[in-house]
Amino acid sequence: MHWTDQKERSNTFTLRLILWIALHLRRGFTRLLLHPITLYYLILSPRIRRSSKDFLSTAMGKKVGLAGVYRQILVFASTILDRVFLLTNRHELFDVTIENPQVITELLEVNQGAILLGSHLGSFEVLRTLGLSRDSLKLKVLMHYEHNQMISSILDGLNPDIAETVIDLNQADSLIKAAEFVNQGYLLGMLGDRSANDERNIKVQFMGRETSIPTGPVLLATIFKVPVVLFFGIYLGKNRFRIIFEKLCDAPSISKSERDTFVNEYTRNYVGRLEHYARKYPYNWFNFYDYWK
C-alpha cells in the first residue's frame, strides 16, 4: 500500500476528547492515556506491526519484537500529544536543545531564504511552534494538507498563526507563493522522505535496500537558487527534544545541463543523513507503511 492510500484510524470524537483532557489536565497525567492508545494500535493494526518490525529490524540489525513496536508507536503518540502543548505555546514544559544553530542564524542575519528539508523522523512541529514564537524566524511549510486532514485541522485550530504558515501543495499557485516567500528571506519547510506518484523520484539505497525518494526539494533549490538546510526534531523521551540543523548544500549556481546531476547527488546525500539519524534514533521513525516496497 502506498502511503497516500492510508486512511486515518482516529475519529473526531476521540481526538477532541484527548484534546480536551490535554488542555485541562496536567501533561504527566495525560501521557498515561498514551499507553491504552498505543495498545489499541498494536493489537488492531497488523499493517503497523509489520512495517514497524521491518523497519526496526533493518535499522537496528537484529530481530525486533512486539516490545519494540510498542515503543515506536508510543514515541509517535507522544509527539502527537506534545503538538497540543506546543501549539498552545506551553513551551516551558519542554527541554529543547539545538545543535548547530549557527546554520540558521547565519541565514537570518543576511535575510537569505532557504529550503528547510525535514522528514518523518521525529517532530517537525517542535520547530514550527518554537520558530513562530521567535519573530526573527520566518517560516513557511509546503505540504499535502489533505493527508491526515482530520487531525491536522483539529490541531491547527489551536493556533491559527501556525495554520497560516502552510502552503498547500494541492493548490495551483503553491509554487508561485513559495517563490515569493523565499525571495523575502523565508525558510521553506518541506518533508523529503516520501515519494508521491505525481512527483519525479529516483531510486536510492536506504539501509541497504532500494526505495524511491522525491527530488523535488533539491530541484526547487536549484530553481530558486537558495541553500538547503537539513532539519531533524528528535524526541528523546519525557519532555526532551533535540533540534538538529545541517547544511546540505549552498545556493546552487549551475547550468541547466548540470541540474539533473546536482539534484540526484544531493538528494542521495540527504538520504545518507536521513539513514544516519534513523539508525541513531530508530523509534523516531514515523513512516508506518512498507517503506521499501
Question: Tens digit of pLDDT for each residue in 189-238?
Answer: 999 999 876 679 999 999 999 999 999 999 999 999 999 999 999 999 99
Residue 158 backbone phi and psi in degrees, to 5 = -70, -25
Q: Is residue 142 part of a domain?
A: yes
Closest by Cα among 43, 64, 45, 42 to 55: 64
Q: Is residue 112 part of a domain?
A: yes
Q: Is residue 278 part of a domain?
A: yes
- Residue 14: predicted pLDDT: 65
Helix axes 34-44, 46-60, angle to 10 degrees: 100
Q: Look up the domain containing 112 and give its range.
A: 8-284
Residue with cell 499535502: 144
Residue 30 backbone phi and psi in degrees, to 5 = -60, -35
Q: Is residue 217 part of a domain?
A: yes
Residue with cell 492508545: 37
Alpha carbon 248 to its chain's center: 17
Q: Is residue 44 part of a domain?
A: yes
Q: Is residue 259 part of a domain?
A: yes
Residue with cell 539505497: 205
Alpha carbon 9 to its chain's center: 20
- Residue 148: predicted pLDDT: 59
- Residue 2: predicted pLDDT: 47
Spell out the residues 6+ positions from residue 291 whose beta carbon is closer than 8 angstroms to its own. Answer: 51, 54, 55, 206, 211
Give the whole-angstrom CA distance, residue 207 versus residue 20. 40
Total domains, the chain: 1
Q: Is residue 290 part of a domain?
A: no
Q: Over 80: is that where the pLDDT of 246 sits?
A: yes
Q: Is residue 2 part of a domain?
A: no
Rounded to two decimals, the pTM is 0.91
**3 state DSSP class of 159:** coil
Q: In the structure grid, which three cell numbers stand for residue 178, read together?
A: 513559495
